[in-house]
Amino acid sequence: MNKKSSSGKSIAPPLAFSERIGNLLVSCIQGLKKSMSDDDPLSKKLKGLEGVVRKGVRISPSTELGKEIEEYFDRQILRHEFLVEEKKIVKSMVFEVVNTIKSLVSNSSGFETNITKCVESIESADSIQDIVKLKDSFIGEMKKVREDSRSLHKELEELRKNSVLLAKKLEQSEAQALVDPLTNVLNRAAYNMKMGQMIHEFKRYKEEWALLILDIDHFKKFNDEFGHQLGDKVLKSVAGTVRNSIRVSDQIFRYGGEEFVVLLSRVNVEIASQLAEKICREVEKDYFVHGEKKLKVTISIGGAIVTADDTELSLFERADKAMYEAKNNGRNRIVMDL
């Protein structure tokens, strides 16, 4: 909405502000459209709105907030698709069990009817020859039941094996939904789940742990000067170096863009500082060769130790504030919130 000057004339908002809002609006629209079918009336209206926005302002590549919005919608779609697929598989398993039980009931009912007829025939038999014939008929029915039982056992065993395989596939699908495909470390959805668990366990067991926020220094320069392909290599390399630098009990997550989070279990501020310093120095040792240039990569780290008053948000904000302090103090260093 345009403001008015003292003379009553409308004053348009700054161009940079309009473009930023336009870019964020496009990110939201594209995220919403992904979750709808193309023939959905609302999807068509959103497409029209996107066209209007694109005509009004210059749309540039997504900013950090724009990427977060896009990642949010992608996670929601991924979760929805996973749940839909999971329901289909579970339904299939249930249908198999139901059909097997129906087959069992059907076979049992036929056996009961035939045996009843045999009993009635034996009661009304007048000669030994008739009884012998009925005996053979009865034995035939028993053989059928035995064969049906073997067949049913095989079906149930096959169903058990299939159930185990399906359960493993579900576990693999769920695990894949929590891994960042570029860096092959846990993603932000996994971080959100783990943080809730860690906060809950701290309130129960009172064991200290730390949260580190890692941000790659001058990452925009890698993308702008050398291309996004090299930027992706930097992200992969940093993720791998950090993963190899932390303990088995610690975990690394890609939070978004060039930002990572590391959760250090069972540490005080002194040990957390030592581990953070180790990560910082290991990343500093690495470098990339681009043409004739040798490119160095460094990171800035902010950390905080959990306290009784912390929530997931407050702990993150303390570590984030410390990380920006490390940036402002020259980068390639760590700052712990004390």
Question: What does the pLDDT look like over 98-140, one tens digit per residue?
Answer: 555 555 555 555 555 665 666 566 556 555 565 556 556 656 6
Give percent of the chain with pLDDT exceeding 70: 62
Q: How far is it, in rounded angstroms, from Cα 195 to Cα 233?
A: 28
More reliable by pLDDT, 274 or 146: 274
Q: How confident is the model at residue 148 (pLDDT cuts 50, 70, 90)?
A: low
Domain boundaries, the chain: 14-61, 82-176, 188-337
Q: Do β-strands 334-337 and 299-305 pair in parallel, antiparallel, or remain unpaired?
A: parallel
**258 part of the active site:** yes
Architecture of the domain spanning 188-337? 2-Layer Sandwich (3.30)
Q: Which residue has the tokens 């949260």?
A: 211
pLDDT confidence of residue 232: 92
Q: What is the mean pLDDT of residues 304-314?
A: 95
Q: How far is it, in rounded angstroms, from Cα 279 to Cα 216?
A: 12
pLDDT confidence of residue 1: 47
Mean pLDDT, the chain, integer = 78
The gap from C-alpha 136 to its chain's centroid, in whole angstroms, comes to: 63
Inform me whether the pLDDT recorded for 309 exceeds 90.
yes
The first and second tokens of residue 210, run together, are 């730390």
Neighbours of 81 (CB within 10 A): 12
Inform me whether the pLDDT recorded for 159 exceeds 70.
no
Q: What is the mean pLDDT of residues 207-224?
A: 94
pLDDT confidence of residue 90: 52
Question: Which one of the listed residues 258, 259, 277, 292 is annotated catalytic?
Answer: 258
Q: What is the mean pLDDT of residues 251-278?
A: 96
